[in-house]
Structure formats: structure tokens, C-alpha cells
Amino acid sequence: MTASPTTSKDVQTVSGITVRLAGDSGDGMQLLGTQLTNTSALAGNDVATFPDFPAEIRAPRGTRAGVSGFQVRFASEEIFTPGDHLDALVVMNPAAMVTNLGDLRKGGILIANEDGFNEKEFKLAKVESNPLDASVIEEVYRVIKVPMTALTREAVAAHGLSQKIADRCKNFFAMGLVYWLFGRSLEPTLRFIEDKFGKKPDIAAANISALRAGWAFGETTEAFGESYQVEAADLVKGTYRNMMGNQALAWGLVAASKLSDKDMFYGTYPITPASDILHEVTRFKNFGVRTFQAEDEIAAVCATIGAAFGGTMAVTASSGPGIALKAEAMGLGMMLELPMIVINVQRGGPSTGLPTKTEQSDLLQCMFGRNGESPLPILAPRSPGDCFDIAVEAWRLAVECMCPVLILSDGYIANGSEPWKIPDVSKLPKIVIKHPEGGESDAPFMPYARDENLARPWAIPGTQGLMHRLGGLEKEDGTGNVSYDPANHQHMTDTRAAKVSRIAERIPDQDVYGETSGDVLVISWGGTYGSCHTAVRNCRNAGHSVSHAHLRYINPLPKNLGELMRGFNKVIVPELNMGQLRMLLRAKYLVDCIGVNKVQGKPFAVSELFEAIESHVSTAKDGKSKADVRNKAG
Amino acid sequence: MNLPVLKAADFASDQDVRWCPGCGDYSILAQMKKVLPELGVPREKTVFISGIGCSSRFPYYMNTYGMHSIHGRAPTFATGLKSTRPDLMVWVITGDGDALSIGGNHFIHCLRRNLDINIVLFNNRIYGLTKGQYSPTSSEGQVTKSTPMGSIDHPLHPLSVALAAEATFVARSIDAHVKHLGETLKRAAEHKGTSLVEVYQNCNVFNDGAMAYAQERKQRAENVVELEHGKPLIFGTNNDKAVRLVGNHLEVVNVADVPADDLLIHDEKEMNPSIQMMLARMRYPEMPEPIGVLRAVQGIATYNDQINDQVTAAKAKKGEGDLQALFNSGDTWEVA
Ligand SMILES: Cc1ncc(C[n+]2csc(CCOP(=O)(O)OP(=O)(O)O)c2C)c(N)n1
Ligand code: SF4
């Protein structure tokens, strides 16, 4: 294979680029985006991505509902979000253009597949006339019209493919052009094509021709006088790979299973955006992973509990609607005090809601959505790569406490990606699990005896002398026999709650970005980390007294959090819900919190958070009293 | 190896049995305790999993491992357990409401997967634990607490459902017919694949005598035909009646009236479940109801074998999973 060509045009070095690729859902935009991401990561840039799918698999072609987008930011500095405003936008048709143009910054580059702009497409996109012809567009943006379909057909003509198949190569043409514009190497994508289409050499060859033609077009057309270069980012030393959130969860689970010397059982029922975890873990059968695609979510979680009873590392995952179905069984898991992991990759709700869009609105569902007093530990990853660590940590806590542990991810993290520093496996701490050994002793076995973490022994079927019966009926402490004794129920309820709350003693104190007291503290959780962190950084750069605490442990909360909150005049809690963490914080600490809330199926833009935080800084300064004075009761 | 010889009493737990006096559940419990020692499976390798209902209290009364789970879901817990611990002998204890109403979905899927477990379905045609509402197997017109004007639901028949799901072992027995019950449970245990045993169980509190035609010794001979593989379906107090196949239906004849060749010979091993389905549809009072093994077909892969075989095959092909190799696979780059 020939090496990537080098450009003879001028190259301008910039610190970062945000580009969005948008087209019809059949145009291969996700593939293009993933390739650009990988290639940029391999070039040493820090990357962050935001894929945006239509809800329908094949929404009517050419319509606004069918637009599929993929946003990538790659930079020579550390970044935490895929960016608010686009430097470049590639659109394959009018629908993609009108739905995305609003995000392109003034002076940004708009690359349009001219061939996708015709009367038929205007009708489908519900536009009166060609949006590319609007004079204001040319004034505000650098518009580059490329007849991609025609050029692609020409480029692949020699391969003798049908026109339909030839036209499908146009995303590789677009890719080639984008690669030229941003000085990306063709190498990784050439390898990808060979891998993916190896069995269909004519298609592989055509895609390669299209890719190279796109690159050559950039090099020869007069529309571009220069291309851009983003230098490698200054990341911590090590070996990296690009990582998506769901993939990192899957890898974290497999790692946890290896670190605890346990085979894994993964029981689930397909649901967006959690399904990709199943697709990933099922590849790991040689790691001892057994996957069970159940008839529904209830079967999935129950089979998971069955596997846990048998002594296996047991995991189930779903999204909000499926978690709703799992609720009764999660209560049982808690009553049985068996270790397992329940993952909720949140999406927009309620009900079927916005399946392909992100939201953080299942927090209270996971906190309280079971009958009875049923507290469970909850962890939330903050970024795609963090999913790995959270999965390992969740399993460690599950076996330490002998109870189900919830992981709250979301669609934004699940499908987003970032560079991930590959850990040295030999240095990852082992997760030690001891099953009681049993024997022929006549002493009755106490399945609900407790250790220092209030965990009961994980005695597994097959062990002599430890025969016991578990069930959802209340247990007598120690013996585990069914008990209706009022005092015992109180005691067991208290014990289960204490077992969870005591985790706070064993997790790290909440860390803070910025000072530990001041005008404003921003508290966030989950996938809004990047936007919140960047917005706070920008506020601090603007000279404001703003700090940031990002929670990865949500139940229990870190034990210093209340004190931390009281050190600030104002506490701001941005969430992609209508104020769920805020409600918990106010209830627990009696400290007022200000919400920044939205549920639009989209992540926070850094700028909107910056404005929201900044608008409170001056009043926080004027604030006569600190939060703890206003809230003496706390 | 010298296995200790266990007795029925060894399988009794220290918990008080709390079913209503006279409940058919007692007899099933007694037969189970009697059969288990004959199977030669150690107590610690035996697990009972139940849903919710009177019958589902069963695991508490067995000195084995056990789990009293949630309503209707016992087969799913068993799926997770048996898939990961194929070395265990797993029994699912369920009721007609538990298995067929709330758990209908799991019931079907467990059977079609052919997980190597044994399901014992206590059918009393009523909801016992919730005090007397009609169940999916209650007869049409049945007056219960929730159906004062009579049930308008058409009943569901567990054996038909099981055969429709292509279950590999389908049988029926009766609480009061203890010898038959014991033998049927034993055969179920020996079957490789999901075995379903429906047991007619009298709920003497809320549905007393609903199946007296089959349970009471005097009536049984006239109303029940005991199936035996390779034998004709002969029944009646004087063994004077039989079942024969005419065209596409079954009918009752007097043995004396027809040549022996005309009688239907029971074939539990027939892969095509059509005639077995006809047997499942023989219903009192028009027909004698069959008890015994309707279907016992071998050689169909079990879910637990297959899920584990795939793991073995993957290890053979790719080698034991290596985390570091996984992490470093594909495109990586160095930051110096
Ligand atoms: C989710 C849920 N819904 C309802 C119930 C109430 N419930 C308990 S047992 C039962 C029916 C039991 O009937 P059956 O399965 O026939 O068992 P039996 O008591 O007759 O042995 C019902 C409705 C429950 N425990 N859980
Ligand atoms: S209610 Fe019926 S089924 Fe339940 S224990 Fe009493 S007699 Fe048995």
C-alpha cells in the first residue's frame, strides 16, 4: 500500500478543529466520523466526539428527520467536549444543511455535496429553493460546493460497479477531502477498508479510489488555498487508543472479571443505547464470558441474579424503560444480598422518549424506583474512558457489600469517544473474593452473618454444609430464616441502609477543581463533566471565583460534600434533567442549590453553562451570607 | 466414591411447613423428598427455585440450596444459574398463576431453550396465596372471589402450551396418586433438557375438589388414562375402555368392540408432537385425561451445554483471553 500523499499547498497550524459531518442516515456519516476520530487520535490529538443518530433506522431519505450527524473535535491541547461551534461542516444534502448550519461559526467552512442539492431533495427537506444559493450564506461562511456524486462515479468507474454501489462510495470521497483539509493520514482508513471489504476486493478498491480522489480534489481545486494542521496534544506519557463509552464499560467488566478471577454472565435485552455493550462483551467468550439475550428485561435481570447465586460475576444492562422493568428484581437482589452490576445507559424519557438522544433523568428512578426501603450504591462515569474504571469499581463495591451496584451512564458517554491510556494490567489491583468453604460441620450455617462491611457470606450452591434458602421475604438477621418480627424488619432495613451509606468511608473524598471555598461551586455528575469542567475553567480564566466538583459516586455521596458546599456562597447544579441531583443535595444537606437544567436531547454547550454560571457570580459575591448561614438547619 | 445413603428425612429443612392442612402440596413435598435420595445427587448440588404462590414456599422446606424468587420468574433465575453452573441439579417449583399468568413468557422461552432443568407446575386452578381469585387454568364460568358471575376467560392448558413450545419432556401427575407422582418426578429428573411436570394439586381451601374426578381413587380409573410408552391407552375400572385415532381425532371405544390393532399405541419418543398434542387436549368429561409422560424426546441440545460449549470453543480457537493483548489490539499510539 502506498503511503499517504503530502500536500504542496500552504499548511496553517491551529490548536483545534471542530468538524461535523452530516448527511442522510444511509450516507455513512457515522462511519466517516469514526474514521476521522481514529485517525486524529492516532495523530496524537486529543479527541472528543458526539454522534447524533435519527430515531428511526431509516427515516424517509432526504428528510430532516433522517439526518445523521457526527461531530469530532480534535486538538493539540486537552479537551473535554466535542465543542460548541463548528469550524467546518460537511453536508451531503439540503436537509443536513438546514438542520446543522446554525452551529457553524461565522467564517466557518461549509462543504456541500452539490449533487445532493436538487429539486427533489429540496422538496424532501421542505425548503423552497436551493439553500446554497442564498446570498447571505456566501457572506457568512466559506462555502465550497463539490459535485461529490459525479466525482465519485468518475473515480470508481474503472471498477465496473453498478451505479448504486458506486454512489455508496461517496462518503469515502468526502472523507478523502476532509482528510486533505485537516492533514490527516489516509493510512489507517486504507487499512480499515482492506479489513472491512477484504472479501469484496472490487468494493475495497472502489472505496480506496474514492478516498484518494477526495484527497486529490482538495489538493487540486482552487477552492482551497491551504489546509490545516493540528499538532499532537500534550497528553500524559503512555500508550493510547481511542475508546467509546460502551466499549469501555464492556472492557471494564471483562477486566473486573479477570481481576476477580470470575467468569462473567451478562444477561440483557436489546435497547438503545445499551445494546452495544452486549455486542462488545459477547466477543469475549474466550475470557469466560457467557451472554444471555433474554426474552425481556425481567428475564435478563433475574437470570443475572441466578448467575450471582451460583457464584459468577453477574451483570445486566439496559436503558430507562428496561430498568423500570427490572425494578422488582433489583429489590430482590438487594434482599438476597447478592453481588451484581446493573447498568443504565440513560436516554431521553419518559416512556420510550428520545431513544437515540441523551438525558440524565433516571437518577431518581435508580435512587428510589423500587418498592420498599431499597437503597443501592450508584456510580456514574464522567467520560467514555472513565467507564472502564467505573465498571471495575462497581464490581469491587458489589462484592465488598454483597449487593447490586448501579452504574448510571448515558447516551452521550456511551457513543462518545476519547483517547484512553492503556493501563498496565499487572498493576491493576485484584478484587479478592472469598466464598465460605463449608464442610461437614454440624453447626448451622448463618447465611446472613455479617462482616465489617456488613456484607453477608457468598456461599454458593455445590458447597457442602452451607445449604441455605434465600428469598424476597424478610430475613431474620443471621439465620436468614423468614421473619415477620417487627423489630427484626426495622433492624434489617437499617442494616441494609447502613451497608450502603458506609461505603462513603471507603471511597475518596470529593475532589475539587479550583479552591475549596469561594463564590460559586458547580456540582455535576455523569456525562456533563466535560462541558461543566470547560465552562468552569473559562469562568476561572475570566477571573471569577468558581470551583467545580464532579461526582462519580452518587449513592452514597462523598462524606466531605456537605462541608464543601457550605464553603461557597452559591452552589450551581447543571443537569440534563429538571433538577434530580439538586433535589437530593438540597434534601440531604439543606443547602440551597441553583439548577441549570435542560432536556432537549442534547448535551450542554460550554457557552450556555458559562453564561449561566457567570450570571450568578456577581450575585454570589454580593451575597451577604454563606450557604451554611442561610441554612442553619443543615 | 462412597456416597452417603440419604433418606427422605435428610432432605427436610428445619422450617415448619405452613400450608393449609389437607393441601395437596404436602403430598408433592413428600414425594420429592422420597425421590431425591434415589437420584444420587448430593443435597448441596440440588437447588430449588420458585416464584411466588403457596406452592412456591416449597424451597424453604427442603434441606438443599434454594431460592424463593419473585412472581412468575423462577425459570429465568434457573436459566442464569444452570447456564453458569451446569453441575447443579435445578428444580423450578411454580403454580398455575405463577407459571402461566405473570410468568407465561418465561415459561415458553425456558421450554423452547431446553435448559436442563425440571419444572414442577402445581396446578390447583386457582390463586391460593392471594386467597381465591380465578387463575389462567380455571374453568370457564368458575365462580371465585374475583369472578362472582363466573370467569369469562378461556382456560390455558399447560401441557398444550409446553408442546407448542416444543418442550422435550412433558408429563402430568396427580398429588393424590403418590406412586405415579414419584415415578414421574424421577423420570423428569433423569431427562436431559427442560422437563415439565404438571401436577394436579388440590387447594382444599379455595378450589376444593376441582379435580376430584382425577384425584379421587374411585373416579380416577374412569376419568384418567395412564400413559405408557409402547402400550395402548387402556383405562376404565375394568380396563375395558381405550382410546383410538380415527382420522384426525381421538375417540373412546370399548376394548371388546375393536381389534387390538386399532388402538392407539402411545409413543412418547415421537418427534412430531401432533398426536401428543391430541393427548394434551383430551379433557374431562368428554375424554379421559392422560397422566404420565406425553413426550420425552432425546438428542436435542440443551441451552446450558451450548452456552458453555461456545466458551470452550472460543478458548480453543482464540486461546484463553488476555486482557493486555486485548487492550493493545488494533490502532494504538504512543505519547512519549
Ligand atoms: C408482581 C406480583 N404481582 C402479584 C403478586 C401477588 N400474588 C402472589 S401469589 C399470586 C398467585 C399465585 O397463584 P398460583 O401461582 O396459582 O399459586 P398458588 O398460590 O395457588 O400455589 C399472586 C397474584 C405478587 N406477589 N407479585
Ligand atoms: S390456600 Fe390452597 S394451595 Fe394454598 S396452602 Fe392452602 S390449600 Fe394449599
**pLDDT digits 0-9 by tens, B186-231:** 999 999 999 999 999 999 999 999 999 999 999 999 999 999 999 9
CA B127 to ligand 1 centroid distance, Å = 6
State the pLDDT at residue A441: 72
CB within 8 Å of chain A, chain B residues 54-73 = 59-60, 62-70, 73
Query: For ligand 1, is residue B53 a contact (CB within 6 Å)?
Result: yes
The least confident of A43-57, A555-569, A601-615 is A43-57
Q: What is the rounded average pLDDT of the residues A600-621?
A: 94
Q: Which ligand 1 atom sits closest to the C-alpha of B122? A: 21
Q: Does residue B18 belong to the interface with chain A, where contact is any CB pair within 8 Å?
A: no
* Nearest alpha-carbon partner for A568 in A541, A542, A548, A595: A548
> What span, in angstroms and rounded, lies between the C-alpha atoms of A398 and B295?
43
Q: Which ligand 2 atom sits closest to the C-alpha of B18? A: 5
Q: Which band of pLDDT confidence, cut at 50, 70 and 90, is reported for residue A6?
A: confident
Percent of chain A with pLDDT over 90: 91
Q: Does residue A303 belong to the interface with chain B, where contact is any CB pair within 8 Å?
A: yes
Percent of chain A with pLDDT over 70: 97
At the top level of CATH, which class does the domain B8-215 belong to? alpha beta
Q: DSSP characters for B117-185?
A: -EEEEEE-SSBTTTTSB--TTSPTT--BTTBTT---SPPP-HHHHHHHTT-SEEEEEETT-HHHHHHHH
* Nearest alpha-carbon partner for B163 in B302, B293, B304, B305: B293
Alpha helix ranges (H) inside B193-273 = 212-215, 217-223
- Secondary structure of residue B90 in the 3-state scheme: strand
State the pLDDT at residue A272: 95
Measured in residues, chain A has a length of: 634
Specify which residues A417 forms β-bridges with.
A244
Whether the Cβ atoms of residue A53 and residue A91 lie closer than 8 Å to each other: no
Burial letters for B130-141: b for 16+ Cβ neighbours within 10 Å, e otherwise? bebbbbbbbeee
CA B202 to ligand 2 centroid distance, Å = 8
The position carrying cell 492503556 is: A422
Tell me how many degrees the CA angle A78-A82-A83 measures, rounded to the nearest 5.
95
Q: Which band of pLDDT confidence, cut at 50, 70 and 90, is reported for residue A623?
A: low
Q: Do the bridges between strand B46-50 and strand B89-95 make them parallel or antiparallel, or are there none, so unpaired?
A: parallel
Q: Does residue B286 belong to the interface with chain A, where contact is any CB pair within 8 Å?
A: no
Dihedral of alpha carbons B318, B320, B323, B328, sign = negative
Q: Does residue B146 belong to the interface with chain A, where contact is any CB pair within 8 Å?
A: no
* Nearest alpha-carbon partner for A72 in A418, A529, A413, A359: A418
Ligand whose nearest atom lies closest to the CA of B210:
2
What is the residue with the minimal CA distance to atom 20 of ligand 1?
B128
Dihedral of alpha carbons B28, B34, B40, B42, sign = positive
State the pLDDT at residue B228: 98
- The better pLDDT of the pair A622, A587 is held by A587
Q: How many CB atoms lie within 10 A of CB A106?
A: 8
Instruction: Pick B67's closest partner by Cβ from A258, A423, A471.
Output: A471
Measured in residues, chain B has a length of: 336
Q: Which band of pLDDT confidence, cut at 50, 70 and 90, is reported for residue A1?
A: very low
Query: For ligand 2, is residue B54 a contact (CB within 6 Å)?
Result: yes
Query: For ligand 1, is residue B175 a contact (CB within 6 Å)?
Result: no
A201's CB contacts (< 8 A; 6+ apart) are none
Q: Which band of pLDDT confidence, cut at 50, 70 and 90, is reported for residue A461?
A: very high
On the question of pLDDT at A628 being above 50, the answer is: no
Q: Does residue A100 belong to the interface with chain B, where contact is any CB pair within 8 Å?
A: no
The position carrying cell 457557552 is: A607
Query: For ligand 1, is residue B268 a contact (CB within 6 Å)?
Result: no
Query: For ligand 2, is residue B205 a contact (CB within 6 Å)?
Result: yes
Q: What is the rounded average pLDDT of the residues A55-77?
A: 91
Percent of chain B with pLDDT over 90: 97
Q: How many CB atoms lie within 10 A of CB A597?
A: 18
State the pLDDT at residue B2: 59
Whether the Cβ atoms of residue A519 and residue A510 lie closer than 8 Å to each other: no
Q: Does residue A436 belong to the interface with chain B, where contact is any CB pair within 8 Å?
A: no
Judged on CB neighbours under 10 Å (0-12, 13-18, 19+), A399 is: buried
Q: Which band of pLDDT confidence, cut at 50, 70 and 90, is reported for residue A618?
A: confident
Q: What is the rounded average pLDDT of the residues B37-62?
A: 97
Percent of chain B with pLDDT over 70: 99
Run of H or E including A152: helix A148-156
Whether the Cβ atoms of residue A229 and residue A12 lie closer than 8 Å to each other: yes
Task: Answer yes or no: do B68 and A473 touch at CB < 8 A.
Answer: yes
B255's CB contacts (< 8 A; 6+ apart) are B234, B239, B240, B241, B242, B263
Whether the Cβ atoms of residue B234 and residue B260 lie closer than 8 Å to each other: no
B113's CB contacts (< 8 A; 6+ apart) are B79, B194, B303
Q: Which ligand 2 atom sits closest to the C-alpha of B122? A: 3
Query: For ligand 2, is residue B135 a contact (CB within 6 Å)?
Result: no
Q: Which of B6, B67, B117, B322 to mutate to test the interface with A (most CBs of A within 10 A)?
A: B67
On the question of pLDDT at A31 being above 90, the answer is: yes
Q: Does residue A205 belong to the interface with chain B, where contact is any CB pair within 8 Å?
A: no
On the question of pLDDT at B295 being above 50, the answer is: yes
CB within 8 Å of chain B, chain A residues 169-198 = 188
B335 CB neighbours in chain A (<8 A) are 44, 232, 235-240
Instruction: Pick A284's closest partner by Cβ from B69, B85, B321.
Output: B321
> What span, in angstroms and rounded, lies between the C-alpha atoms of B233 and B266?
7
Q: What is the rounded average pLDDT of the residues A564-586?
A: 98
How far apart, in Å, are the Cα atoms of A273 and each of A336, A351, B57?
29, 14, 39
CA B158 to ligand 2 centroid distance, Å = 20
* Nearest alpha-carbon partner for A81 in A466, A431, A454, A524: A524
> What span, in angstroms and rounded, lies between the C-alpha atoms of B58 and A181?
71
Q: DSSP characters for A59-83?
A: PSTTSGGGEEEEEEEEESS--SSS-
On the question of pLDDT at A419 being above 90, the answer is: yes
* Nearest alpha-carbon partner for B78 in A321, A292, A325: A292
B3-6, long-range: CB within 8 Å, 24+ apart, which pairs?
A: B3/B40, B3/B42, B5/B37, B6/B36, B6/B37, B6/B43
CA B201 to ligand 1 centroid distance, Å = 16
Q: How many CB atoms lie within 10 A of CB A101?
A: 18
Three-class DSSP labels, A236-299: CCEEEEEEEHHHHHHHHHHHHHHHCCCCEEEEECCCCCCHHHHHHHHHHHHHCEEEEECCCHHH
Whether the Cβ atoms of residue B304 and residue B83 lie closer than 8 Å to each other: yes
Q: A52 to chain B nearest CA, in Å?
A: 24
Task: Answer yes or no: do A461 and B70 touch at CB < 8 A.
Answer: no
CA A545 to ligand 2 centroid distance, Å = 69
pTM here is: 0.95
> What span, in angstroms and rounded, lies between the C-alpha atoms of A533 and A550?
8
Q: Write out the three cell numbers for B162.
A: 409446553
Please report how many Cα atoms fall inside a 13 Å half-sphere around the Cα of residue B44, on the Cβ side.
16
Q: Write out the three cell numbers for B283.
A: 379433557
Q: Do the bridges between strand A518-525 and strand A404-410 make them parallel or antiparallel, or are there none, so unpaired?
A: unpaired
Task: Answer yes or no: do A469 and B43 touch at CB < 8 A.
Answer: no
DSSP state of A173: H
Alpha helix ranges (H) inside B169-285 = 178-190, 212-215, 217-223, 274-280
Q: B318 to chain A nearest CA, in Å?
A: 7
A158's CB contacts (< 8 A; 6+ apart) are A209
> What span, in angstroms and rounded, lies between the C-alpha atoms of B292 and B186?
12
CB within 8 Å of chain A, chain B residues 94-113 = 105-106, 108-109
Q: Which of B81, B110, B305, B311 to mutate to test the interface with A (most CBs of A within 10 A)?
A: B81
State the pLDDT at residue B304: 98
What is the residue with the minimal CA distance to atom 24 of ligand 1?
B71
Query: For ligand 2, is residue B139 a contact (CB within 6 Å)?
Result: no
For B324, which residue in chain A has the nearest alpha carbon? Answer: A425
Q: How many CB atoms lie within 10 A of CB B9?
A: 9
> What span, in angstroms and rounded, lies between the C-alpha atoms of B284 and B294?
17
Run of H or E including B80: helix B74-84
> What span, in angstroms and rounded, lies between the C-alpha atoms of A479 and A459?
13
The position carrying cell 487508543 is: A241
The position carrying cell 474503472 is: A158
Q: How many CB atoms lie within 10 A of CB A120?
A: 8
Task: Answer yes or no: do A239 and B307 touch at CB < 8 A.
Answer: no
Q: Write out the three cell numbers for A97.
A: 444543511
